[in-house]
Amino acid sequence: MKDRKTYSESLRRSKDLENAIIQNPQNYRILTGERPTGQLHIGHLFGSIKERVRLQKLGTETAIIIADYQVITDRDEFKNLKESVDGIVIDNLAAGLDPEKTMFFCHSQIPELNQLMIPFLSLVTEPELLRNPTVKAEMEASGHSLSGLLLTYPVHQACDILFCKGSVVPVGKDQLPHIEVCRLIAKRFNERFAGVKYGELDKEGNPKGMENAVFPLPEALLSKVPHVPGLDGRKMSKSFGNAVLLGMSADETAKLIKKTPTDNERTITYNPDDRKEVSSLLTITALCRGLEIGGDGEQQIAEEINSDPKFGAGLLKQKCTEAVNEALRDHREKRSELAENLDYVHKILHDGIIKAREIAVETLKDVQNAMGTIY
């Protein structure tokens, strides 16, 4: 099932893709998005949103899906859904995304996208779906039978990517298996219904029949910030109370960081295995200052603190608070302005939904033509 056998190979391909985008950004359509399960936090901002802004500045077209249907893959109901959707649009705009170049839309408003589920499900087997790490982890964590929606979650993601013929998907390492499922579905559709022969090459070295392909094989662009830890060293999550939400004020941020637990050792060192809380605060501080994370940036902050007569966890929290609040200063100002103009925010979303539906209608026609289901 795997189209990429190793992470190192995926990393190499991602670097090649980055160079190709820089050379010809107009040839690529970026598909990315969020599940509207609550307010976004700095992990979203540094892990994905800033990357979208960077890619857009290079000249790529961007589509952002707000995956509202996927909320119920692991929840029994929608809660504060509209506020979460508004917040996603606001935070992406506040970070610098241009609504003239970015298409925002919601799952539930694009029926043609969801209609792709039926042919796509015919292209994967149950064992292939059960091997997906997200499905396996959720099955183990829940302790009960999988819902049909959760089992087919990777297929629904393939619909999200392929309905607009997205060619690039920015992801973290743990999301690579989803891209492989998407590539698998695109390849099998092209082989079964469009006559593409990936095992036979023409004189130019391309698969025979490629001119008839309905879908591209999307590529993963690995995030430059692979992991933003929570304040306490665990995964950053609103439910853990360890996340700096983008909607927080500077005072709320200071209070949250101040109450974050650390350890009794006064000297500050970067040791993610044995000093998770201290190391997480160092990583967040370095990230917000624009330093390299993963060792060098954190060590620089630690040395700065240890050279101060007031060294210790209190000074670390102070430095972290200052770095976070400075990094979010402009974002908060723009966010506040947008929150006061929800009519503008809603217009951007509605315009994006209209455009997404137009694209989805054309893609569904391509699918029906290839399958021979035009009557």
* Angle at the Cα of 26 from the Cα atoms of 21 and 30, rounded to 5 degrees: 65
What number is the average pLDDT over the span 117-129? 94
Q: Tell me the Ramachandran region of residue 59: left when phi exceeds 0, alpha when psi lies from -120 to 50, beta otherwise.
A: left
Identify the weakest region by mean pLDDT among 101-115, 136-150, 209-223, 232-246. Answer: 136-150
The whole-number pLDDT of residue 1 equals 45
Q: What are the pLDDT digits (tens) for 298-312?
A: 999 999 999 999 899
Domains of the chain, start order: 7-227+342-371 (3.40.50.620), 248-339 (1.10.240.10)
DSSP symbols for 285-345: HHHHTT--TTTHHHHHHHHHHHTSTT-SHHHHHHHHHHHHHHHHHHHHHHHHHHHT-HHHH
DSSP state of 107: G
The whole-number pLDDT of residue 174 equals 81
The answer to whether the CB of 291 falls within 8 A of the CB of 284 is: no
Amino acid at 12: R
Dmax (CA) for the chain in angstroms is: 80
Could you tell me the two tokens for 255? 């209070």
The whole-number pLDDT of residue 317 equals 96
CA distances from 69 to 34, 76, 302 (A): 11, 12, 43
Phi, psi of 362 (to 5 degrees): -65, -40
Could you tell me the two tokens for 326? 């400075």
Amino acid at 131: R
More confident residue, 228 or 335: 335
Q: Mean pLDDT, the chain, as a whole number? A: 91
Residue with tokens 């743990």: 174
CA distances from 225 to 51, 235, 276 (A): 9, 14, 18
Q: What is the pTM of this model?
A: 0.91
Among residues 110, 198, 118, the alpha carbon closest in space to that of 367 is found at 118
| CA 318/CA 254 separation, integer angstroms | 8
Taken in order 9, 10, 11, 13, is the CA torsion positive or negative?
Answer: positive
CA distances from 138 to 71, 73, 147, 178 (A): 14, 10, 11, 14
Three-class DSSP category at 72: helix
Amino acid at 375: Y
